[in-house]
Amino acid sequence: MMVETGELTKLQMYIGGEWVAPSGGEYIESVDPFTAKPWALVPRGNAQDADRAIRAADAAFRDGPWGRMHPSDRGVIIHRLGTLIEKHADELAEIEVRDNGRLLAEMRHQIRYVAKWYYYYAGLADKIEGVVHPCDKPALSFSRSEPLGVCVGIVPWNAPLLLFSLKAAPALAAGNTLVMKPAEHTSATALKLMELVEEAGFPPGVVNVVTGYGKEVGEPLVTHPLTRHLGFTGSTATGAYLYSLAAKDVKRASLELGGKSPNIVFSDANLDNAVRGVVGGIFGATGQTCIAGSRLLLHRKVHDEFVDRLTAFTKAARVGDPRNERTQIGPIANQMQYERVLDYVRIAQNEGADLVLGGKRPEHDECARGFFVEPTIFTGVHNEMRIAREEVFGPVLSTIVFDEPEEAIAIANDSEFGLAAGVWTSDMKLALRMSDRLQAGSVWINTYRDISYTTPFGGYKQSGIGRENGIEGIREYLQTKAVWISTAEEIANPFVIG
Ligand code: ADP
C-alpha cells in the first residue's frame, strides 16, 4: 500500500495479509535514477519483521486454507493474479521505471509478459502426478510430490517483478507459502503486487513481502528455522554466502547468479542480425542483466568490419529519459552501480584495452542529472584481463579476436561463470557443435537474451544452481515422498530386512 506524504510516497510491508510499518520505524529512500532524486520511502525491515513474516507464512502453510485447497483451486487464484497483473501492467511499469530507470516501453511489455508465468504455473498446479514404482517387494510403492513449506525469495533490482515472478509462480503452484524480499532500491512493485494478491483471493499469509537491506532483513529470512527453501537471484558473492547459511540447516536453495557471457560471431553470420543481437545483448537494459553478452568473440576475418558496424549502430542509439518512447538506452539503476561501471572503464584502460566508444557520461542535457554512462566498447581485450573476467553489470562490451572454432570455445569456457552464450553463424553444423561444447545454461543460436516461462533457465559453474521456468522450474519447489503399502499376508522375520 502506498501513502502519499508530501513529496515522497511511503510504502508499507505486507505480512500475514496486513499492511504493516517496519518495527524499527525506519525507512530507506528509493531514488529515481533519471532525476537522481528520492521518490519513495521503503520500510527498513529487521529480524523481528522477518520472523513475523516467516511465522505468518508457516501458519498459512500448516493451518490455513491454502494447504488444504485442491491444486485446481490454487491454480484458479494464481491465474487470477496473472489477469490482474495484465490489467495493471502500465501502472506497474511506471513504478518500476521510477525505481530502476529501465525503459518504460520495455517494462510495459515485460510486465504483460510476467502474467504468463502465473498462467503457465496455474495450469501446471493440478498436473503434478505421482509415480507407481515397479517394486520388487510384496508392496505397492508409490511416490507423490509435496510442497516444501515456507519458501524465501530474494531478488535484485534489475528486473524486480519478473524475477519475483520466476520464483513466486512455481512456488505457489507447488503449494508452498512465500516470503519475498525485493532489493532495497526497487521494492515498490513487489508491494503494489500485494494489492493484486489480495484482490486475487490468496488467503492471508500465503504471500508476504518484507523490505530493507539484505543483511538486516534478508539474512534472518534465510537463517530462520522455519524456512525450507531459498530462491535467490543476484551476485555470485552474495549467493554463495547465502548458500553457506542455508547449508547449515540443510535447506534447499536455487541460485541464479552472475555471468560473463560470450557472444561468438563467425564470419559467415548474417552480420546485420549479429550486430543487433550483440547490441541488444550488452546495451539492452543498459547492460544490467545477468545474461549480458559482455564478451564479444569476433572471428578475425570480420573483426574490423564488425567493429565498424557495431560502433555506428551503437552511436545512433538514443540514450536518455527512460519514459521517452524513443529512448533506447536508459540510466544505470543506482549511484553505486554507476560508480562501479566507471571504475571498470578505468580498469580496462589501465589494462591496455582500446576504448573505441563511450566510457563516460553522455554530454547532452537530458543525461545531466541521472546516473548515465555512454554505451562503451573496448577492442583488443584478452581473456585474462579483469574486464573479460569480472561481471561489470553495465553497458561495457569487451571484444576478443579468435581464428578457429576450438579457440572460440576455449576462450568462451575460460570463465568461472556459465550462464549463457550466443553463437552467430549460418552453418548449422558448426552452431550445433558449438552448443555441444559451450559450458552455459542457455545457448542462443542467431538470437540473444531470449527467455520464456516454458524453457529452463539457470547457470553452469558459478552462475548458479537449479533451474527456473518450464516444468523443471516447479521441481525446485517440490519434494518426493515414497509411500509403501504391504501386500504380504504376514511379516515373516522382523529381524531380517531385504
Ligand atoms: P546486486 O545489488 O549486485 O544484485 P546482491 O546480490 O547483493 O547484489 O543483491 C541481490 C539481493 O540480495 C538484494 O535483494 C539484496 O538486498 C539481497 N542481499 C544482499 N546481501 C544480503 C545478505 N547478506 N543476506 C540476504 N540478502 C542479501
**pLDDT per residue over 31-63, tens digit each?**
999 999 999 999 999 999 999 999 999 999 999
Q: Is residue 95 predicted with pLDDT exceeding 70?
A: yes
**Residue ID of nearest Cα to ligand 1 atom 14:** 183
Q: Which residue out of 290, 367, 374, 476 is catalytically annotated?
A: 290
pLDDT at residue 3 tops 70: no
DSSP letters spanning 309-356: HHHHHHHTSPBS-TTSTT-SB---SSHHHHHHHHHHHHHHHHHT-EEE
pLDDT on residue 491: 86
Which pLDDT does position 496 carry in this prediction? Answer: 85
Return the amino acid letter for 44.
R
- Torsion sign across C-alpha atoms 91, 93, 98, 99: positive
**Whether 290 is catalytic:** yes
Ligand 1 centroid – CA 222 distance (Å): 12
Q: Residue 4 pLDDT more than 70?
A: no
User: Can you tell me the distance from the alpha carbon of 70 to that of 209, in angstroms, rounded to the nearest whole number?
Assistant: 25
For the cut 70, the answer to whether the pLDDT of residue 6 exceeds it is no
| Tens-digit pLDDT profile for residues 192-216 | 999 999 999 999 999 999 999 999 9
- Cα–Cα distance list, 189 to 42, 200, 331, 363, 488 (Å): 11, 16, 19, 32, 58
The 10s digit of each residue's pLDDT in 365-424 is 999 999 999 999 999 999 999 999 999 999 999 999 999 999 999 999 999 999 999 999
Mutate-to-test residue for ligand 1 from 154, 186, 211, 335, highest number of ligand atoms within 8 A of CB: 154
Handedness of CA 393, 354, 275, 374 (dihedral sign): positive
**Ligand 1 centroid from CA 234, angstroms:** 6
Do 468 and 171 touch, CB atoms closer than 8 A?
A: no
CA of 156, closest atom in ligand 1: 10
What is the band of 2 on the pLDDT scale with cuts at 50, 70, 90? Answer: low
Please give the number of the atom of ligand 1 that sits closest to the Cα of 154: 14
List 397's β-bridge partners, or say none. 377
2-257+463-482: CATH topology is Aldehyde Dehydrogenase; Chain A, domain 1 (3.40.605)
262-445 CATH fold? Aldehyde Dehydrogenase; Chain A, domain 2 (3.40.309)
Pocket test for ligand 1, best of 238, 251, 336 (most atoms within 8 A of CB): 238
Neighbours of 313 (CB within 10 A): 16
pLDDT at res. 493: 85
Is the predicted pLDDT of residue 5 greater than 90, yes or no?
A: no
Supply the DSSP string of 117-167, one letter for each residue.
Answer: HHHHHHHHTT----EEE--SSSEEEEEEEEE-SEEEEE--SSSHHHHHHHH
Q: How far apart are CA 231 and CA 152, in angstroms?
A: 6
Kindly give the number of the ligand 1 atom that is closest to the alpha carbon of 183: 14
Which three three-digit cell numbers place residue 169?
A: 509462480
440-482: pLDDT as tens digits = 999 999 999 999 999 999 999 999 999 999 999 999 999 999 9
Closest C-alpha to ligand 1, atom 21:
214
Distance 158 CA to ligand 1 centre (A): 12
Atom of ligand 1 nearest to the CA of 222: 25
User: What confidence tens digit (pLDDT) does each residue in 151-164 have?
Assistant: 999 999 999 999 99
Q: pLDDT band for position 497 (50/70/90)?
A: confident
**Which of 204, 174, 154, 187 lies closest to 50 in space, CA to CA?**
154
Whether residue 492 is predicted with pLDDT greater than 90 in this model: the reply is: no
Q: Which of 1-5, 88-92, 227-231, 233-237 has the lowest mean pLDDT?
A: 1-5
Q: Are 170 and 456 a contacting pair, CB within 8 Å?
A: no
Gap from CA of 214 to ligand 1 centroid (Å): 5
d(CA 243, CA 107): 31
Q: Please say whether the beta carbons of 11 and 43 come within 8 A.
A: yes
Say whether pLDDT at 120 is over 60: yes
Cα–ligand 1 centroid distance for 427 (angstroms): 41
Four-CA torsion 211, 216, 221, 224, nearest 10 degrees: -150
Residue 471 burial by Cβ neighbours in a 10 Å radius (0-12, 13-18, 19+): middle
pLDDT at 252 over 70: yes
Nearest ligand 1 atom, CA 393 = 3
Q: Which amino acid is at 222?
A: V
Question: Where in the chain are the domains?
Answer: 2-257+463-482, 262-445
Note the helical H segments in 8-159: 47-62, 65-68, 71-87, 89-100, 104-124
Query: Is the pLDDT at 498 greater than 70, yes or no?
Result: no
Shortest-distance Cα residue to atom 3 of ligand 1: 235
Residue of 256, 374, 391, 476 marked active site: 256
Between the CA of 238 and the centroid of ligand 1 the distance, in Å, is 6
Strand partners, 444: 422
* Averaged pLDDT score across all residues of the chain: 96
Q: What is the mean pLDDT of residues 337-359?
A: 98
DSSP 367-416: GSSS-----EEEES--TTSHHHHS---SSEEEEEEESSHHHHHHHHH-SS
Q: Tell me the CA–centroid distance for residue 183 and ligand 1, in Å.
A: 7
**pLDDT at site 7:** 79
User: Which residues contact ligand 1 via a Cβ below 6 A?
Assistant: 154-156, 181, 183-184, 213-215, 218-219, 222, 234-235, 238, 242
Mean pLDDT of 347-364: 96
Q: What is the percent of the chain with per-residue pLDDT over 90, rounded to a whole number?
A: 96
